[in-house]
Amino acid sequence: MKLPFQIDLSDKVIVVTGGTGILAGQFVDALAACGAKVAILARRLTIAEAKAAEVAKNGGIAIGVAGDVVNKESLKAAHDVIREKLGPVDILINAAGGNHPGGTTTNDYLFAEDVQEKHDDTVTFFDLDPQGIQFVFNLNFLGTLLPSQEFASDMINRPGATIINISSMNAFTPLTKIPAYSAAKAAVSNFTQWLAVHMSKVGIRVNAIAPGFFLTGQNEKLLINQDGSYTERSEKILRNTPMDRFGEAQDLIGTLLYLVSNEASGFVNGVVIPVDGAFSAYSGV
């Protein structure tokens, strides 16, 4: 891949959770291209190993590791494998996350008739599924906290140790329809700040990236019609994104490398950086 700039990550061991996703997969490629030894953590080992093989084919160093970010025992087992094959962890990228239909409403707004004339195909605020909401919170918030607990134990007083979390525009201003995801990402941003302070005396920096709107496998059906045209939701997003386009995975790489590099951002700690085409800066008028 083409890097926006080069940094030296030789001999650094980096764990990327959710490293087989569209955006996190690009993180893996960029970090490996800078010389890092990358552990790709995913629930399905075969997919993680396939991504690692792709990295190796391009001249990088990577291993695929099975790991569930909401299961402490699974993370401990993954950590043992990483230590054995690559060594102690220097950097953690918490990129695992996602949404669930059980935490999503059908419409932007609640109207009285939605309750008075209940339709089976309409999910209102009152119909949100506690299990779906819990799934979203566990995956996004606990799925950031638990890997940080597990892997940061290696990082204490290691030069250049850093944790990078993935927040979202939802953390700044909640989007309609997805209250669970918005709240969970707000928790990730808050936790990023808390952990940065907590870890400041042992040399571990903690920051986050908050992507704007990027087309991924998870949101493609919400944003693109079957004929390839934009959905109504996409049109709303683009009207409120001054750069008038969706982000591409490559747009995140410069911020990632900046935050990973102790030389570039060694005094940057506890920040959440939007990469959103000015979405968060635009008032709509």
Q: What is the pLDDT of residues 118-149, one digit of tens each?
A: 877 899 999 999 999 999 999 999 999 999 99
Task: Please indicate, yes or no, if residue 116 is contained in any of the structural domains.
Answer: yes
Task: Please indicate, yes or no, if residue 263 is contained in any of the structural domains.
Answer: yes
pTM above 0.85, yes or no: yes
Task: Please indicate, yes or no, if residue 211 is contained in any of the structural domains.
Answer: yes
Strand pairing category for 61-66 and 91-94: unpaired
The C-alpha atoms of residue 14 and residue 85 are separated, in whole angstroms, by 12
User: Mean pLDDT of all residues in the chain?
Assistant: 95
User: What is the token pair recorded at 270?
Assistant: 């506890």
Distance (Å) of CA 140 to CA 187, 199, 200, 220, 241? 9, 21, 23, 19, 25
Helix (H, G, I), strand (E, B) or coil at 268: coil
Residue spans of the chain under pLDDT 50:
none
Active-site residue (options: 109, 181, 258, 282): 181
Residue 89: name the closest of 32, 158, 41, 149 by CA. Answer: 158
Residue 111: burial class (beta carbons within 10 Å; 0-12, 13-18, 19+): exposed
pLDDT digits over 84-107, tens only? 999 999 999 999 999 999 999 999
Q: What is the total count of domains within the chain?
A: 1
- pLDDT value, residue 120: 79
- For 140, the domain range is 13-281
| 181 noted as active-site residue | yes
Output the domain CATH number for residue 218. Answer: 3.40.50.720
The C-alpha atoms of residue 137 and residue 119 are separated, in whole angstroms, by 27
